[in-house]
Amino acid sequence: MYQNVTTTSGRKSFWKLKLVDTEFLKELITDHANRPRNQRQLARYTCKCTGKNPLCGDEVSLEIDVDQNSDVINDIAFRARGCPISRASASIVTETCLGMTSADAGLLAKHLRETLTEQCPPTLPDQLSSAWSKVTPLTAIRVNPARIKCITLAWHTLCHALDNPGSTETVD
């Protein structure tokens, strides 16, 4: 199965499963790390979480406004410091999860973690296939096991924030 992914600069890349053009992957990480989407503070939010990775010092704070009736993420923003991979992943979280229900965002995060740790994740529902195509390039990053946390920190923080309304903190 081939997927088509386009960066903001318009470059297209076709990849099969975990085989991603390394130049495309570098461009994607650089693009999101240097021109992050939704890096700001929200005036109003229903949940906020700061996630920290004590092994490398990466830190991601997410602010999320979830509609209490529909459970849809109306707005999401982040602030981050750390390596380009963790900053890019945080940008991708906000870009991908905006407009999703919190349940779907959590399912997507779980699927990413299980894919990265080479567990056998269940098949995603059809309504998440488009969102997964934005996230899948992260699974092609070949790093040592300690650096997997660079990819998952923002996603872990997202889940913690959605599961614990208000302001919280987590260590991944």
Q: What is the pLDDT of residue 59?
A: 97
Place of tokens 């602030």: 79
How many residues are given for the chain? 172
Domains of the chain: 2-171 (3.90.1010.10)
pLDDT band for position 17 (cuts 50, 70, 90): very low
pLDDT digits (tens, 9 = 90+) for 57-103: 999 999 999 999 999 999 999 999 999 999 999 999 999 999 999 99
Give the model confidence (pLDDT) of 109-144 as tens digits: 999 999 988 888 878 999 999 999 999 899 888 667
pLDDT band at 4 (very low <50, low <70, confident <90, very high): very low
Q: What is the DSSP string of the chain?
A: -EEEEE-TT--EEEEETTB--HHHHHHHHHHHHHS-SSBS--SS-SEEEEEE-TTT--EEEEEEEE-TTT-BEEEEEEEEES-HHHHHHHHHHHHHHTTSBHHHHHHHHHHHHHHHTT--PPPPPGGGHHHHHHHGGGGG----GGGHHHHHHHHHHHHHHHHS-EEEEEE-
Widest Cα–Cα separation across the chain: 43
d(CA 57, CA 74): 30
Please, are residues 35 and 94 in contact by the beta-carbon 8 Å criterion?
A: no
CA 68, 72, 105, 26 torsion: positive or negative? negative
The token pair at 103 is 């349940």
Mean pLDDT check: name the lowest of 23-27, 40-44, 86-90, 148-152.
23-27
Residues 168, 78, 85: CA angle, nearest 5 degrees: 105
Task: Give pLDDT, residue 61.
Answer: 98
Identity of residue 110: K
Q: What's the whole-model pTM score?
A: 0.84
